[in-house]
Amino acid sequence: MNIVIFGAPGSGKGTQSEKLINEYSLHHISTGDVLREHIANGTEIGKVASAIIANGQLIPDNLMIDILADNLKNHPDAIEKGVIFDGFPRTIPQAEALNELLKKEYDSEIHAVVGLEVAEDELVRRMIERGKSSGRADDNLETIQKRLSVYHKQTQPLCEYYKNAGKYRPINGNGTVDEIFGEIKEQLKK
């Protein structure tokens, strides 16, 4: 099963992905983690990404799509295991490219989109809290506000996109980690 874990920054995508991997042994792709690794290693991609991330904006679609396609190519067992896409897609063109890639290269598709729905003030609270220890250049109030605004403009339309495709599974993302995970498992069983 290929799952997109979807939600605003701070909605718990990374945390719930970890739990899903442990439960279902899926291949995990976090595009944010891939980019942070590039930055840490000082690669060309890292150089492009670093200022964009610190400014709360999105990396260009073509670069993200290449990163994603490479990741799948480098993990030949990924589709067989099932993939959890965490932080990708973030725009409609990314979602369309993902559909096409899965279909053409792997004769596969996205089976479910788990949407973590969290109140805005809680998102801010969580990211500020995470910023105390994450060392992330984007977990500060100014950048958090930019990231939320980018999310509303560029990423949230995907909600409608996946609803129209009959794949969107809304989850109340305001409870405890285990409560939320329980709800995700219920939805995935369906």
130 is catalytic: yes
- Smaller CB separation from ligand AMP, 12 or 87: 87
- SS3 (DSSP) at 38: helix
- Smaller CB separation from ligand AMP, 61 or 170: 61
136 is catalytic: yes
End-to-end, the C-alpha distance of the chain in Å comes to 13
User: Distance between CA 4 and CA 95 in Å, rounded?
Assistant: 10
Rg, the chain, Cα only: 16
125 is catalytic: no
Contact positions with ligand AMP (CB under 6 A) in 87-146: 87-88, 90, 94, 138
Which among 107, 117, 92 has a CA at the least distance from the CA of 16?
Answer: 117
126 is catalytic: no
In the complex, least distance from residue 190 CB atom to ligand AMP, rounded to whole angstroms: 26
Spell out the residues 6+ positions from residue 21 whose beta carbon is closer than 8 angstroms to its own: 28, 84
Whether the Cβ atoms of residue 32 and residue 87 lie closer than 8 Å to each other? yes
In the complex, least distance from residue 143 CB atom to ligand AMP, rounded to whole angstroms: 8
Contact positions with ligand AMP (CB under 6 A) in 1-60: 9, 31-32, 35, 52-53, 57-59
- Smaller CB separation from ligand AMP, 133 or 190: 133
Cis ω on the peptide bond leading into residue 89 (within 30° of 0)? yes
Choosing from 19, 125, 126, 130, the catalytic residue is 130
Q: Which residues belong to the active site?
A: 13, 90, 130, 136, 147
